[in-house]
Chain A
Amino acid sequence: MSPIRIGINAALLLFIFTIQETVISRIHLPITGFSLYLAALVLMVILENRTGAVILGFVGGLVLDLSPSSQSPFGQWALILTAISYIIAVNAESVDEIISRPVGLGLFVALGASLALIAYLIMDSLLGQPTGTFRRDVIVIAGNLFWTMLIAPFLMPIFTAFREATIGSRERI
């Protein structure tokens, strides 16, 4: 991934982050809300190779760490999303067939986002941060899983087009 593409992707992630913080978080969806940002990041990671996925995960994590409402230490999301992005990139290679279908893609993205949330909770516990009740955490993760699964297939064409528009000829080869 070229430095220019890293910059462009970071700008896109910042834009989605702003939408997440200002618009999505204001909509009271049934069950709980969802993270458009995590869904978008997982989709972008799926489209990249392992190196690109790791960089994207790290940059995406840093952007999420900037969230003023976050109470976790700065760098926690970067650590989690770097590791999760690598895992997603490795596994996406073996499920190419499945994620080429909308339902499979939705499920894969939703699982990736949920995995990130679970890892976040585990790390919160390890760092001694309060995590709330188990029931509430399960509801948040289940709600996120449900909504992400629904929206992921609709987002995929947008991110594929974006990648095609920004990718250089060298990377295309």
Chain B
Amino acid sequence: MARGGGNRSRLLLVILLVTSLFFITLDLRGSGATKSSRSLTQTILAPIQKGVADIFSPVGRFFSDIKNFPGEKNKVAALESENAKLKNQALINKDVAGQLKQLKGVLDLAGRGGYQTVSARVIGHGSASAFSQTITIDAGSADHITVDKTVISEHGLVGVVKSVEAHSAIVLLMSDPAFKVGVRIARNQSIGVLTGTGGNSFSLQLLDPAGDIQNGDVLFSNGSDSNRPFIPGVPVGVVTSVDHTSATLTQTATVKSYSDLGNIGVVSVVISAPSTAPKQAINPTPAPTVIVYVTPTPTPSPSLTPGAPTPSPAPSLSSSPTKKAKK
């Protein structure tokens, strides 16, 4: 092991520390050079990550598979019985699918209501040498993906697109400490902010001081202005514990995500939100008005006796919910 250095090394240390501080200052002032160097790295790394993802995807879960091995046997048995049920269900679904195909052409079901998405494979995970929680996907600006787009998995929200290259993009996972999303509780529509904590659990803080959170409350994304970065109505997670001891003005809770962020293989980037967002879909239809008409029916009098009281017409009632009866 080589030794020595002395004054020369100390001088060099100071020079290099000052240079590093210079780089930090440049970056914090928004210099494009530092940003472009990172995008260049991403452009170079993406094809390698893509290739490695193909080779290493079975190896990646090797250790977690070993850990879960005893439970796997029961899981297989349960899955086999579930598979048999699903096979029966699939036969029924074939009939439904046929009907759906016909309806699709008439009503364009696929186009309405659903999000327009681009699916992508996860080709890289954030480095362990940084504390940020990110994934790299194999779709980019060439696939119409732009920054600040919502990323979802089969179960719900995953994160948001942080940076985009031609054929890859980096997604900031919702577990990242820098991640914040506006959410609403499905039960009472209270609004809050969900923050990543770096792990599997998330912190929810309600905005309304009188708001109420309960265990098991389901959270949906609240949506952002022009649907960027978040579209409304995406399942986010479920409340697992409510913090009653917190000294904050509003209630806080711990939330578990619907998506298993550690084992994501495929995600979808929402390119455009549905034309009718869930928050706008609640238009109360007016109840049919019931109009009551009173028609006087004259009762014929057999004889008119002077001094006798004049008979008054007996009222008859008729009602029509929609149209007017003309008499």
Binding site for B on A (CB under 8 A): 18, 20-30, 32-35, 37-38, 46-55, 57-58, 61, 64-79, 82-83, 86, 89, 92-93, 96, 99, 117, 120-121, 124, 127, 129-133, 135-137, 139-140, 144, 171
Closest to B9 in A: A50
Q: Known contacts A54-B13, A79-B21, A83-B17; decide if A70 and B53 are in contact (CB<8 Å).
A: no
**Is B24 an interface residue when CB atoms closer than 8 A count as contact?**
yes
B31-60 interface code vs A (CB 8 A; 1 in, 0 out) = 000110111011001001100110011011
Q: Known contacts A23-B52, A89-B5; decide if A69 and B34 are in contact (CB<8 Å).
A: no
Please provide the chain B residues from 159 to 195 with a CB less than 8 Å away from any CB of chain A in the complex: 163, 170, 172, 176-178
**Is B210 an interface residue when CB atoms closer than 8 A count as contact?**
no
Q: List 14 A-B contacts (CB under 8 A).
A: A21-B49, A25-B126, A26-B59, A30-B64, A38-B129, A54-B12, A58-B19, A58-B20, A69-B127, A74-B24, A76-B20, A132-B196, A135-B199, A137-B131
Q: Which 9 A-B pairs have the closest CB atoms?
A: A132-B198, A75-B23, A50-B5, A79-B20, A130-B177, A50-B9, A74-B34, A68-B42, A35-B129
Q: Known contacts A27-B56, A70-B38; decide if A50 and B128 are in contact (CB<8 Å).
A: no
Contact B2 A26 (CB under 8 A): no
Contact B67 A30 (CB under 8 A): yes
Closest to B41 in A: A66
Rounded to whole Å, the gap between the CB of A162 and the closest CB of chain B is: 14
**Is B4 an interface residue when CB atoms closer than 8 A count as contact?**
yes
Interface of A is mostly: helix
Q: Known contacts A18-B45, A54-B16, A79-B17; decide if A71 and B132 are in contact (CB<8 Å).
A: yes
